[in-house]
Amino acid sequence: IYLVTDAFHERRALIAFGRFPLTLTAAPPLLDIPPVLNAGDFVPGLGGWVASYHAIHEWVGCAWYALRRRLAGRPDAP
């Protein structure tokens, strides 16, 4: 199965679908392009807050799946 999702939350999606007996292949539709940095990029702004929110959301989601596996008695299952 090709799991097509944004590269930003691909890890969490693989964990979520990993509990099913499927062979998964990650297939992000668009890879991130390395940014061209300038001096203004180092000044706090709204874009940084939004990116931080999404990153924290994904890490909390991964932690939730790990906790749920542990509570179910399957610490090694995906």
2-56 pLDDT, tens digit each: 888 887 788 888 888 877 888 888 888 876 677 788 888 888 888 888 888 988 9
Q: What is the pLDDT of residue 56?
A: 92
The rounded radius of gyration (Å) of the Cα atoms in the chain is 16
Amino acid at 31: L
pLDDT at 73: 79
Q: Is the pLDDT of residue 60 over 90?
A: yes
> Between these two residues, 49 and 77, which has the higher pLDDT value?
49
CA pair distance 38, 21, nearest whole angstrom: 46
Distances in Å between the Cα of 30 and the Cα atoms of 4, 7, 78 are 10, 7, 25
71 or 77, higher pLDDT:
71
Question: The pTM is what?
Answer: 0.63
